[in-house]
Amino acid sequence: MTRLLHRYIALPGSLLLLLLTLSGAVLSVLPALEVAQSAAMAPGETVADLAAKVQANLPEVQQIKVDAAGNITAYYFAGLSPAAKIIDPATGGVIGDKAATPVKDWLVDLHRSLFLGSGGRITAGVGAAMMVLLALTGIFLMARRMGGWRKFFAPARGPLSARLHVEFSRIALLGLVFSGATGIWITLTVFDVIPAFDPTPVFPDQVSGQIASDISALPALRDIPLTELKALTFPYAGDATDVFTVETTGGMGYVDQGTGEMLSFEAPAGFAQVNALIYALHTGRGLRAWALGLVLGLASLAGALLTVTGVLVWLRGRKSSAPVKGFDRAGRAETIILVGSEGGSTWGFAATLGAALKDAGQSVHIGPMSAFNPARWPQAKRLIVLAATYGNGDAPQSAKGFLEALERHGAKAERLPVAVLGFGDRSYEKFCGFGEEVRAAFERQGWPQLVEMERIDRQSPQAFRRWGRALGAALGLELDLNHVPSHPPTRKLTLISRQDYGLEFQEPTAILRFALPQRTLWEKITGQGWPRFSAGDLLGVVPEGDSVPRFYSLASSSRDGFVEICVKKHAGGLCSGQLHRLAPGDSIDAFIRPNPDFAPQRKGPVVLIGAGTGIGPLAGFIRGNCRRKPMHLYFGVRHPQSDLLYGEALEEWAKGGQLTSHQIAFSRLGEKTYVQDLIRRDAARLVELANAGAQFLVCGGRGMADGVQAALAEALAPVGLTPAQLKAEGRYVEDVY
């Protein structure tokens, strides 16, 4: 509800909000400049002194005004053209012409009325109200997103636009509520909904009828310190019935031009002072408010960025969560497919499955898991649940509330046969943890199983196809699920250089270096195109002749200025074969997939363990270790003359201090050691490092990783540490293939 409210206020109002916040941000700087330019008033100086001096210099003066910053301006109409002169408070002399401020006037007009007069002022007021509502709903949404009020300031996760939206909110929230609320107040005073209560002294019935020759002697004007003056209007020249009209911070009154007596005076009502205070706070004008004005201006700028990132978040969400189209309504379908998806890829699998079932003559409905309610499917004969796992065993976005809904609606429903398919990432400890929980919940309620639960690792199309055959067999259908996972748009990467290894053992391996694709300015602003990446992220390569991407760990970060991967040629491998045929100047289609968990910790030592092409991301970490934090490498290859990837570079990094220590195991030389042998041999040192808070990053084949984990478990056992414990703390991370 809060989310819908937030969205449906923000989307139609985004352009208005952008105009208000941007113009507000620019305007916020002006009061500080005005204060910086204003000349100081001498203490003890009175209105009478100044009025006399100004009139001596400018006999035709009609009005003197003092703005909030303390700048004094004298006005008069000379012939056809109005004159406005800036006055030196000390001498009453003219400093210069008050320059026209067309840009400022334009901005003020834009900010308060969008150049649309009264209607525009109402619109701007509505914009201010939207801003307050958005900030208030935003606070609740943020607490929910971060996982509770106590985590309000925790680091944000997710795509860049969403992270920036959170960060800008933290800067802007208070300021936007404040600017919005005061803006609403000012709009209401303009339309007299909130009365102004400006002082309106009664014009005197009787004046002395005299005109004093010396203004500086007039007592009432002598009583007013210059610092309190807002405006002084001179009497109509030669009209003995006219008076001085004086407006001060304390009120407004009429002063006899002969006797200098205050003929009538009215102080503003309390409400008028509230109005004045709110006006000063909103505009930041004045000697005391300008700094606040700058703070609000910054919040306003962040507000503009919030508008932009908010729209981007919405666009992104619309793109990725667009539920699949072209299927049957829940009430008519015999097969119900429920989807629990975070980023949207599981919807794609559901669409492939649904389409195949429809081709086989089934009626199919596809919906989110969170909408679980058997009462809505009277015709249903079976239920298929595709459940992705978010993080370490949590429910993904479209499955929020599913388990509660199952408790509520499931108990009294007819128990249909259920097939659960889990999607996840094997490198997490609770691989498909949420899918497992869902299956167990169905089992507890006594729903029969249609087929065994399967787990799909990293969107593997092959595993999905296998499961599809099993499902088809259970249904008596021929099901061939040919799913093409959707991936971000690819870019052409051009090979700059390659280094070849491993030819001696008939296992060609190469370090391939590609040029960084150029991003247009628009792509940089909107965060599209080739993203920033770090070593350890994945490069998805789409080979010619197949649309399924293969993933390679990156051995460079965007700061290095190139894209580097290590590729071993597999016998009959389509993608690795194509990569190995590349010559400098050739290009491939590729995209980046972030893999933020596989990265060195910020503080504390790092132990890098890898074999073969697994050195790739580890070399990238070392290359990027410009802060020279302790990094220790354990590396396994076959032979120093054949496949010692990065051999020379490692020596250089060691000399430069980026690599603290390194040990290399050779499996085809002398004693024939493997990397896990190095771990066992170095057990004492590794215990020391683990106790000092070290993080272990392991990259290579599954077999090597299992061997390393076993060796490390052995090494750490005496001090009561296990790799599982370290994993839970993010101190043991694997990237295996």
Partner 1 sequence: MKMKSTVMALATTATALTPLAAEARQVTFTTQLNVYGGKGAYLAFYVTDAQGKYVGSLWMAGPHAKYYRHLPGWMRATGGNPGEVAGITGASVGPGRTLKINLNLNDALFDKGYKLHIDAAAENFPEIPNDVVVNLTSAGKGKPVAGRGYVKSFTYSY
Which residues here bind partner 1, judged by CB under 8 A? 62-63, 65, 75-77, 80-82, 84, 100, 105, 109, 117-118, 189-192, 196, 198, 200, 202-203, 231, 233, 236, 241, 245
Smallest separation, CB 186 to partner 1 (Å): 11
Smallest separation, CB 218 to partner 1 (Å): 18
Q: Which is nearer to partner 1, 105 or 407 (CB)?
A: 105
Smallest separation, CB 75 to partner 1 (Å): 4
Helix intervals (H) in 209-289: 219-222, 270-283
| Phi–psi pair at 492, nearest 5 degrees | -80, 130
| CB neighbourhood size of 713 (10 A) | 14
Q: Which amino acid is at 410?
A: G
| Phi–psi pair at 440, nearest 5 degrees | -65, -40
Smallest separation, CB 26 to partner 1 (Å): 18
428-433 contact pairs (CB < 8 A, 24+):
428/389, 428/391, 428/392, 428/393, 429/392, 429/724, 429/727, 429/728, 430/389, 430/392, 430/393, 431/389, 431/455, 431/457, 432/387, 432/389, 432/456, 433/389, 433/392, 433/393, 433/394
Vertex 408, ends 407 and 413: CA angle to 5°? 90
Smallest separation, CB 275 to partner 1 (Å): 10
CA-CA distance, 378 to 205, in Å (whole number)?
A: 89
Smallest separation, CB 311 to partner 1 (Å): 33
Q: Which is nearer to partner 1, 200 or 482 (CB)?
A: 200
Smallest separation, CB 528 to partner 1 (Å): 42
Please name the helix (run of DSSP H) or strand (run of DSSP E) that holds residue 385, with its range, or none.
strand 382-388
Q: Which is nearer to partner 1, 62 or 722 (CB)?
A: 62
HEC string for 484-521: CCCCCCCEEEEEEEEEEECHHHCCCEEEEEEECCCCCH
Smallest separation, CB 17 to partner 1 (Å): 25
| Phi–psi pair at 593, nearest 5 degrees | -120, 120
CA-derived radius of gyration, the chain: 37
Q: Which is nearer to partner 1, 47 or 406 (CB)?
A: 47
Smallest separation, CB 304 to partner 1 (Å): 26
Q: Which is nearer to partner 1, 82 or 219 (CB)?
A: 82
Q: Which is nearer to partner 1, 245 or 379 (CB)?
A: 245
Q: Which is nearer to partner 1, 82 or 448 (CB)?
A: 82
Smallest separation, CB 21 to partner 1 (Å): 23
Q: Which is nearer to partner 1, 64 or 385 (CB)?
A: 64
CA-CA distance, 221 to 585, in Å (whole number)?
A: 85
Q: Which is nearer to partner 1, 21 or 187 (CB)?
A: 187
DSSP string, 7-29: HHHHHHHHHHHHHHHHHHHHHTH
DSSP string, 141-168: HHHHHHTSGGGTTSPP-SSHHHHHHHHH
CA-CA distance, 664 to 671, in Å (whole number)?
A: 12
φ/ψ bin of 377: left (φ > 0), alpha (ψ from -120 to 50), beta (otherwise) = beta
Q: Which is nearer to partner 1, 105 or 500 (CB)?
A: 105
Q: Which is nearer to partner 1, 234 or 696 (CB)?
A: 234
Smallest separation, CB 63 to partner 1 (Å): 4
Cα separations (Å) of 26 from 128, 141, 178, 264? 17, 29, 17, 41
Q: Which is nearer to partner 1, 126 or 231 (CB)?
A: 231
Q: Which is nearer to partner 1, 204 or 485 (CB)?
A: 204
Smallest separation, CB 84 to partner 1 (Å): 7
Helix intervals (H) in 322-372: 345-359
Handedness of CA 443, 449, 455, 461 (dihedral sign): negative
The length of the chain, given as a count of residues: 737
Smallest separation, CB 81 to partner 1 (Å): 7
CA-CA distance, 639 to 667, in Å (whole number)?
A: 7
Smallest separation, CB 272 to partner 1 (Å): 11
CA-CA distance, 606 to 621, in Å (whole number)?
A: 10
List all residues 6 or more positions away from 257 whose beta carbon is below 8 Å from its beta carbon: 207, 208, 210, 211, 212, 218, 235, 240, 242, 243, 244
Q: Which is nearer to partner 1, 149 or 203 (CB)?
A: 203
